[in-house]
Amino acid sequence: MPKPKSNKSSSLELGRSWRVGLAVIPVMLLAWSSAADASSQVYTRGDAEAVFNGFINGGWAIRLHSPTWAGAPADGGPGGVAIRPFGGSGWNGEHICASDYHVFLIANFDGPGPGYNEQWKKADVAAYLATVGVQLMLDGSPMATKRTPVKPFLNPQYAGLWEAWGVVDGRIMAPGELTLGMHSFTILMTDPIWGNYEDGIFFFVDPPGSPSCSH
């Protein structure tokens, strides 16, 4: 199995397109490693759909204003229902349970900020994001994915923005769709302004009864 590659030295979450995310999201990923995202429940299709459709808005609203982060759509970090292809994160080498639903996804957002596209509105961001191509790959093969409508990203301050809007590309996978053992999950992104981006992880699917299935 080929090793996932990255053309970034520290590729993490995508934000203000993905370039700014490399600088601002390490703090976010440290927070995501909290016990609140640890496997403590059976992940259902509803959980996966809630994270896919709502993490960048409703999920962040919960994380910013609630004393606890448990449950969808806030459960978007390592150890939860979401799987993201960031090699420098807790997703790389993660063990997941074969009896759970999971969502494989990537978020991309942008918006106006000090000295940066200060006049941009939602329509400008939507037009830009429409030019960004995202291909998610499982074990080297393209995944059939969906993209959400453009939605508000409710934590623009993480990227130094006044406002932000974003989309999520991803696929929900049901129990039984992934074989047991090691898999690779990679992203290939094309951006006409900022160039191409590639990153990826390995992860492991464990059978019921394994520690990763101790719900």
Q: Are strands 165-173 and 151-152 parallel, antiparallel or unpaired?
A: antiparallel
The neighbouring-strand residues paired with 207 are none
- Cβ contacts of residue 60 below 8 Å, gap of 6+? 74, 153, 154, 155
In the three-class reduction of DSSP (H, G, I as helix; E, B as strand; rest coil), residue 59 is classed as helix
Ramachandran assignment for 193, one of left (phi > 0), alpha (psi -120 to 50 degrees), beta (any other): alpha
Predicted local distance difference test score (pLDDT) of residue 126: 95
pLDDT in tens, the chain (215 residues): 334 433 332 223 444 444 433 333 433 443 444 334 444 568 899 889 888 887 775 444 444 444 444 554 445 667 888 899 999 888 999 999 999 999 999 988 899 999 888 999 999 999 999 999 999 999 999 999 999 999 888 778 777 889 889 899 999 999 999 999 999 999 999 998 888 989 999 999 999 999 988 75
Which strands sit side by side in the sheet containing 94-97, from one edge to the other? 94-97, 197-206, 181-190, 133-138, 141-142
Q: Are strands 102-110 and 197-206 parallel, antiparallel or unpaired?
A: unpaired
Mind listing the domains of the chain with CATH numbers?
17-210 (2.60.40.10)
Predicted local distance difference test score (pLDDT) of residue 186: 97
